[in-house]
Amino acid sequence: MTTGLTQALATFVANPTFGGQEQAAYAVAKTGFIDTIATMMAGHREPVVDIVRQFFAQATTPAEAPVPFLGTMHPAAQAAFINAVAGHALDYDDVAISGHPSTVLVPAILAEGHRLNSSGLDAVRAYIVGYEVWGELVSREPEQYHLKGWHPTGVFGAVGAAAAVAYLNKLSVDQARQALAISASLASGLVANFGTMTKPFHAGRAASHGIDAVRLSKLGLTSAPDVFEHPAGYLFALSLSGRADLTRPADTLGQTLRILDSGLSIKRYPVCYSSHRTIDGVLEIVERENLKAEDIGHVHVTMGPAQASMLRNKHPATGLEAKFSAQFAVASAVVARQVGLSQLTDAFATRPDVSALYGKVTVTTVDTVCPLEPAFALTDRVVIETKNGKKFDSGEIRFPLGNAKNPIDAAGLKAKFMDCVATGKAENPAMHGADAGLYDRIAGLENLPSVQSLFGK
């Protein structure tokens, strides 16, 4: 008899195996911890973080887990929420499996792991469990969630976080199944809210929902035993065209690891990942040809339809809107020859020399699909035409710099980490937890006796 998908996922969560590939998987998971903690530090002073902190200000007991860079303690679900929002607030966090897995999984694991006094090894293994469940579910929809309006980070993050937290809590198979099914009813997030504070809110809510689902399961809240494969269940409800695969056996869970196939793509630019190939292409051309803004006649960008739908702001008026704008990505790359945190401001986005380029950028979509990143075209392309009639073509751009298939090296990852630390401290000189040994402790997380000591406590 074939085991249903919901039961198979619960069995894996309760008793995970990693196919003899633990060490390789640990390395990828630790990259997720490093990148997420870095972006949490850089983003912890963003206005959206203060808003959610105020939202929880009247309910801060029991003090189970830290928001380390603010120096405060909260109930675990709240700590996970605030830290996840901080990690996603700059849109600088890593990308994989059609979303941002680490910005949900890491805060949920750190918060619940602190409460449970979990070991660093358990935290790393919990990350892999959450990633594998997330990846298994994403793989069952042949079309692109973003085009339907679903934000996969919120939609799949709640379930992935529940899987990771269920593992930390050592739930039985039945308890794990109930927690996963509860989290399926808590999943949400809409692409329409990209470019607003609600996008990082999706990540925060997903992280906290994962913890809530586990708590509710342990208290005895019942849920459907077939919630993922049911014809009125999670996958079918989210499906664009009713083509979600509800019947394929999940018999490779724990034998071949998606975390090793898909990996993590580390962002080099703090903007929507849909524009990273475009930025790489523009930078390569303008630096090689020494082009200036006044030289540009027209820029033609080719990408996938889901990418274009995410980059919705053709004339951004704020730094937040600029994160989701192909026009800004091009203009910043031309004018500043970089797209960094210092460019993601209201003042820069509306500078006359920057905004003058917005109308010179057109985007055309193609129907090819990247098998590794289904929300993206197989390749992107940039063609720059100058006012004097010259054309410069980037050619087909397959993987942006930092992609899992064009990866950042250890030195580059550490450089990003240290830059995020510096950014956080510039915003808040009293920032807690970012001592000199933090990077090394995260890099050796699997050897840490307790995650409670991660931030030097």
pLDDT in tens, the chain (457 residues): 457 999 999 999 999 999 999 999 999 999 999 999 999 999 999 999 999 999 888 777 899 999 999 999 999 999 999 999 999 999 999 999 999 999 999 999 999 999 999 999 999 999 999 999 999 999 999 888 988 899 999 999 999 999 999 999 999 999 999 999 999 999 999 999 999 999 999 999 999 999 999 999 999 999 999 999 999 999 999 997 889 999 999 988 999 999 999 999 999 999 999 999 999 999 999 999 999 999 999 999 999 999 999 999 999 999 999 999 999 999 999 999 999 999 999 999 999 999 999 999 999 999 999 988 888 999 999 999 999 999 999 999 999 999 999 999 999 999 999 999 999 998 888 888 888 799 999 999 999 999 999 997 5
The residues with which 66 forms a beta bridge, in sequence order, are 73
Angle between helices 198-219 and 173-184 (to 10 degrees): 140
Residue type at 419 in one-letter notation: D
The residues with which 407 forms a beta bridge, in sequence order, are 402
Q: Classify strands 361-365 and 296-303 as parallel, antiparallel or unpaired.
A: parallel
The residues with which 239 forms a beta bridge, in sequence order, are none
pTM for the full model?
0.94
Sign of CA dihedral 192, 198, 200, 201: negative
Between CA 233 and CA 246 the distance in angstroms is: 10
Between CA 290 and CA 295 the distance in angstroms is: 10
Enumerate residues 6+ apart whose C-beta is below 8 A from 330.
278, 279, 282, 299, 301, 357, 361, 382
- H/E stretch holding 40: helix 22-43
Between CA 40 and CA 238 the distance in angstroms is: 29
Between CA 227 and CA 7 the distance in angstroms is: 10
Contact 276, 324 (CB under 8 A): no
Cα 437 to chain center, whole Å? 25
Question: Residue 97 — left, alpha, or beta (φ > 0 → left; ψ -120 to 50 → alpha)?
Answer: left
**CA distances from residue 146 to 3, 192, 265, 304, 366 in whole angstroms, order as listed:** 30, 10, 18, 11, 16
Length of the chain: 457
The residues with which 65 forms a beta bridge, in sequence order, are 74
Between CA 433 and CA 421 the distance in angstroms is: 10
Of 345, 289, 405, residue with least CA distance to 46:
345
What are the tokens at 317?
A: 């008026």
Q: Which residue shows structure tokens 């014809």?
A: 231
